[in-house]
Amino acid sequence: MTTGTTEAVHHFDRYDDILAALADPALVPERADEPEGPEGPEGPGGTGGTGGTAQPGTMAWLRARVARFSAGETHARRRALVEAELARVDLAALRVAPDTGEGEGEDDDAGPAVVAALAEALGMPDPAGVARAVAVVAGAYFGAGDAPEADAALAWLLPRVQGGTEAASGGREAAANRIGLLVQACDATAALVRHARRAPEGPAADRVRHALRHDPPVRAMRRVAARATRVGEVAVARGDRVLLDVAVAQRDGAVPVLTFGAPPRRCPGERHALALAESAVERELRGTGRWSA
């Protein structure tokens, strides 16, 4: 454990401790920089968020309205929106997603191809354009403060991911979480593809699973204590930070991987991420992408 100012930072790398921390409702993701308001999913002014003050189509607005940075009932509601989106996707189609010709070289970012495939599966217009805009948004997603370039990309994205009924009613929370889903694909799923490229030789599925276990795209997870709690024998005060070392905790092959988290926040897109990653690696192994083993 190390200390910063008045809050402590607690580091955990035992599997059972990490499971306990991920299941603890007192430990929540670090919050977005835009506070929530009291009005619920259709806030004043048709923001479609929770009544915050950020201008729709800005990064502050997006961060304040996605499941990724939410907790409690708000998280459950927004997670349900993401699950509904994923339920529309044909997993078989993701596994045979067409080669975009972008982002599949050995040193290339796999993000554009992964996001374009998912955007197409979700029926969005201009999947390649969506992928380029999402890449810009992803670069500012975990930051804070002003991000003019990302704001512009987000403003371009909103009407392209928003359904007609949503646009007419002013409800944009579903659109925000649709974008959040694409950002997760751009970051974590694309990283899984990159890590699978350097896995030991073998079929695509084996490479992806090796990466999940031994070279995970998400090596650590972070939480903050909304109230005092305990993780194992460690007392965690309100405001303390918690660092969960997933990469170390899952080295034992006898335990399930933690790459996709754990209940109640286990990634709802696990099967979709695996389908996208295996498809990308398979194309590369066959030489239909720009990288081959």
Residue 231 · residue 26 · CB < 8 Å: no
Region of 123 (left: φ > 0; alpha: ψ -120 to 50; beta: rest) is left
Q: How confident is the model at residue 14 (pLDDT cuts 50, 70, 90)?
A: very high
Q: Over 70: is that where the pLDDT of 5 sits?
A: no
Residue 288: predicted pLDDT: 55
Look at residue 46 and tell me whether its pLDDT is greater than 50: no
pTM greater than 0.75:
yes
Token pair, residue 90, equals 């044909």
In CATH terms, the fold of domain 2-32+49-286 is: Cytochrome p450 (1.10.630)
Q: What is the pLDDT of residue 98?
A: 52
Determine what percent of the chain is predicted with pLDDT higher than 70: 81
Reported as a pLDDT band with limits 50, 70 and 90, residue 7 is confident
d(C-alpha 52, C-alpha 37), whole Å: 5
pLDDT digits (tens, 9 = 90+) for 248-277: 999 988 999 999 999 999 999 999 999 999
Q: Which residue has the higher pLDDT, 93 or 105?
A: 93
8 A C-beta contact, residue 37 and residue 51: yes
Question: What is the reported pLDDT for 43?
Answer: 38
- Higher-confidence residue of 167 and 116: namely 116
pLDDT over 80 (residue 96): no
In the structure, what pLDDT confidence band is assigned to residue 235 with cuts at 50, 70 and 90? very high
Q: Report the pLDDT value the prediction gives residue 250, as an integer from 0 to 100.
A: 96
Write out pLDDT tens, residues 53-66. Answer: 678 889 999 999 99
Q: Whole-number mean pLDDT of the chain? A: 84
Q: Tell me what pLDDT residue 81 has.
A: 95
| Mean pLDDT of all residues in 98-122 | 73
From residue 279, alpha-carbon distances to 6, 64, 207 in Å are 47, 33, 12
Decide which of 163 and 288 is more confident.
163
Q: Is the pLDDT confidence value at 149 over 50? A: yes
Name the residue ranges covered by the structural domains of the chain.
2-32+49-286
| Rg value, the chain, Cα | 19
Q: Any idea which residue has 């690696």 for tokens?
A: 281
pLDDT value at position 171?
Answer: 61
Strand order in the sheet with 2-3: 2-3, 8-12, 241-245, 220-225, 27-28
Residues 87-97, mean pLDDT to the nearest whole number: 85
What tokens were used for 26? 């007192």
